[in-house]
Structure 1
């Protein structure tokens, strides 16, 4: 299993909206960055990801899993853009903020700490474990 982080502006697509989609999940569409798209192409069914609220909150608020492999993005006719579908697994007891991530020396190499603009990014197994612990999430 691999680990990822999915960023969303909560006023566009929030954790609560993701949870409301249930087991069907939701297409992670609208991504127009090649690196983020390529990350989604690498995903496997069951891979886990952090759900990150950007803008004001700047916090990881829950865990999702990939429930459909990369496929054409339904929001465009441009064949270059693909996306995966994700479903909510569970919320964090305590959101883990960007400041928390940047303040923990164990996470200094994490993509989020160094390139917080990338909308879909990889997370190492060690980073995953640390952040789940910080957020009070046990899988």
Structure 2
């Protein structure tokens, strides 16, 4: 199983929205690198949910419940979407500042390429973030 991180502005679609809805189509990704990550996601992969713009913190865990399919919001048919379902909120959100301060997360793709809305998370990074969250 692989691990991922997705970013969303909480004013647009927060983790609380995902919990309320149960699941959502993760669409609208137009960055080619991020789109490749969506294509690599597999059923059951776990996903860290990060609030960008406001909060700047990982707040929850989701999982992939439907693998890549044509993004219904892309009329050109070039990009894909996946479907995500809420798993649980983190006991304690993990801030961007905390992640940047952790030597164990120095290679975290989200920190290295901050503009990506979808990025992979290595197993050791996943474990570090969950430990920081009190999980």
Q: The residue matched to 1:136 in structure 2 has which SS? A: coil
Q: Show the 5 A alignment for 1:89-108.
A: 89-108=87-106
Q: The residue matched to 1:12 in structure 2 has which SS? A: helix
Who is 2:122 aligned against? 124
Q: Which of 118, 131, 134 in structure 2 is aligned with 1:133?
A: 131
Gaps of 5+ in 2: none
Q: Show the 5 A alignment for 1:43-58.
A: 43-58=41-56
Q: State how far apart, in whole Å, the 2-side matches of 1:114 and 1:73 are.
A: 27
Question: How many Å apart are 1:129 and its aligned residue?
Answer: 0.5
Q: The residue matched to 1:4 in structure 2 has which SS? A: strand
Q: State how far apart, in whole Å, the 1-side matches of 2:112 and 2:32 are.
A: 18
Who is 1:30 aligned against? 28
Who is 2:61 aligned against? 63
Q: Show the 5 A alignment for 1:72-87.
A: 72-87=70-85
Gaps of 5+ in 1: none
TM-score (norm 1): 0.94
Q: State how far apart, in whole Å, the 1-side matches of 2:65 and 2:29 are.
A: 17
Q: State how far apart, in whole Å, the 2-side matches of 1:112 and 1:130 are.
A: 14
> Root-mean-square deviation (CA), in Å?
0.8
TM-score (norm 2): 0.97
Q: The residue matched to 2:116 in structure 1 has which SS? A: coil
Once the two structures are superposed, residues 78-124 of structure 1 have per-residue CA deviations (whole angstroms, 9 ceiling, x without a partner) of 11110100001000111101101000011101112211210000000
